[in-house]
Structure 1
Amino acid sequence: MTGALTQISRTEHLPARIAAQFARQIQEGDLKPGDKLPTENTMSKNFGVSRTVIREAIAQLRNEGMIETRQGVGAFVIDRPTRHIRLDDRRQMDTHGFRDLFQLRVPLEIEAAGLAATYHRAEHLRQLDEALQRMSVAGGDDGIVADLDFHRIIAAATGNDYFVQFLGAVSDRILQTIVESRERTRLDEIVAIVNREHTELRDAIAARDPVRARAAMRAHMVGSAERIALRLEFYL
């Protein structure tokens, strides 16, 4: 199986391209439910990239509902719902692409936050807290993975699998947004801002206040867009 993996061009968005290779193997049946992915070290050598890039690719596959990770054990292919959305788009994100992404993402994420505040379980709060901790400790590249996980957990906390699928389908674009914003701002500054926004969102969900959670997510979306020089338009 590892023989089918190929090194990735440096001009491509690395985590997304690696995730796409594994996704094709899963979709074509070369990787089946229960199969274990190679170790991070093995994938890093096979693809010719850093382990951080591999972690981001694994996070994307997890967000798309294709794999699960078991701490200290590895990543495994899981059974996926019959209906599963995956965008096969190899274009690098530009200003128009980011705007299109936010036009879709904003209503989905705001509604997900409100539903998560209403329907979350204790395990979701625990997972949100773990992701927040990882973002605080891993202010560098690993913090990007924690950021993606935070939004995936909110989607899962809605109790509605469509949110998980739709947001998972654009997870590689969301990842590119995070990377782009970090390239425009000093890392310590952006980590502090993003952690504050995520903490406000977590607290609103914990309080089971859907109105406050929606407002917190809206503020986070506005901030995320502004950090890549986009101005969101609201009509309500």
Structure 2
Amino acid sequence: MNALPSPDQPTRTKSQPQRVVDGVTARIRSGELGPGDRVPPEPELMREFGVSRSVVREAMSRLQASGLVETRQGAGTFVLAQSAAEPLLSIATRGVEVRRVLAMLELRISIESDAASLAAQRRGDAHLAAMRQALDSFDAHRRTGQSTIEDDFRFHAQVAAATGNEYFEEVLRSLGSLTIRRGATKPDAAAKAPQADQAEVQPRFGEAQPSLEYNKEITQREHEAIYEAIRRGDAATARAAMFMHLSNSRERLRSTLPDC
């Protein structure tokens, strides 16, 4: 029996280009490489990460696409000032306005509906087992009044992993860190919640109104429908089930936000 991935571990092994991307990105984020600094040359990166020249070039292409670096012909690759070229998905890690949150949900509906369809065609037994584990954990935590945020994310992450396409996972990780600004819940719900549960009252991306058992029960049923379609290998139904789930989540979230 295949071992299930830990919630704290990546759902798939990182590709070689992604390892290089993450290593260079970490240096930029930490300030080790600042705006205008030259990224280590190809031979140095090849030795450091134990990869080929083509892998390094693929990594540099990804970093350019994300707006972190630029390559100058005959001179090398240099770090860009982030204010000059900010990656689109970097806004997912900061506070955002309501309209942006809803726009992110629209993006997620489109991406994850396709991901569910592909997952139904490509999933393996280990993916199904990991999805089932996330669903069972969600249900157990829901019934005992605990947070289901991580379980919700794990289920969607496993659907993305089942596509076999690392970019679905990468986008989901970026969007998955998005949270709704504090104070965005309905006042009566926040007022009635014990102080210790205030964080749970705040809606999170992918789990609108997490403190309300009724909405969690709906989410559980919608997740089960997605899982069953993927398990059967029914791509069309999996796509439709994911589309319905995230569309409903958007409307549940919209109802908790002001001026929407």
Equivalent-residue separation in structure 1 for 2:163 and 2:100 (angstroms):
27
In structure 1, the partner of 2:101 is: 98
| 1:28 Cα offset (Å) | 2.7
RMSD: 2.9
Kindly indicate whether the alpha-carbon contact (under 8 Å) linking 2:117 and 2:238 is maintained by their aligned counterparts in 1: yes
TM-score normalised by structure 1 residue count? 0.58
CA shift, 1:189, in A, is 0.5
Instruction: Give 1:88 deviation, angstroms.
Output: 3.3
Question: Which residue matches 1:160?
Answer: 165
Tell me the distance in 1 between the aligned counterparts of 2:174 and 2:134: 20
Summarize the alignment of residues 24-103 of structure 1 with structure 2, pairs less than 5 Å apart: 27-28=26-27, 82=59, 83=62, 87-89=89-91, 91-103=94-106
Amino acid in structure 2 at the alignment position of 1:228: L
The 1:24–1:147 alpha-carbon spacing in structure 2 relative to 1, beyond 3 Å, is: farther
The residue number in structure 2 matching 1:199 is: 224
8 Å contact 2:131–2:227 — kept in the other structure?
yes
Change (3 A) 1:176 1:24: farther
Q: State the 1:24 CA deviation.
A: 10
Larger radius of gyration: 2
- The aligned residue for residue 108 of structure 1 is 111
Q: Deviations over 1:172-227 (max 9, x none)?
A: 12783245x226xx521011100000000000000100000001001101111011
Distance 1:159 1:227, change over 3 A: same
Q: For 1:159, give the aligned amino acid.
A: G
Partner of 1:131: 134
Q: Could you tell me which runs of 5 or more consecutive residues in structure 2 were left unpaired when the two chains were aligned.
A: 1-21, 31-57, 67-86, 180-202, 256-260
CA–CA separation in structure 2 for the residues paired with 1:170 and 1:125 = 23
Check conservation: 2:119, 2:163, Cα contact below 8 A.
yes
Structure 1 residues 26 and 157: CA distance shift in structure 2, 3 A: same
Higher mean C-alpha displacement, 89-98 vs 122-131: 89-98
Q: Residue 142 of structure 1: SS of its match in structure 2? A: coil
Aligned partners of 2:94, 2:162: CA distance in 1, in Å? Answer: 31
Shift of 1:141: 4.8
Structure 2 contact 123–163 (Cα < 8 Å) conserved: yes
| 8 Å contact from structure 1 (residues 93, 176) kept in 2 | no
Letter in 1 for 2:172: L
Letter in 2 for 1:115: L
Cα distance in 2 between the residues matched to 1:150 and 1:28: 31
Verify: 1:142 aligned to 2:147, yes or no.
yes
Cα displacement string for residues 63-96 of structure 1 (whole angstroms, at most 9, x for unaligned residues): xxxxxxxxxxxxxxxxxx9447674335423320
Rounded to whole Å, the distance in 1 between the matches of 2:101 and 2:222 is 20
Measured after TM superposition, the shift of residue 138 of structure 1 is 1.0
What's the offset of the Cα at 1:25? Answer: 11
Show the 5 A alignment for 1:12-23. none
- Percent of residue pairs identical: 30
Rate the CA distance shift 1:29–1:103 in 2: closer, same or farther, 3 A.
closer
| TM-score, with length taken from structure 2 | 0.53
- Aligned-partner Cα distance in 1 for 2:233–2:244: 18
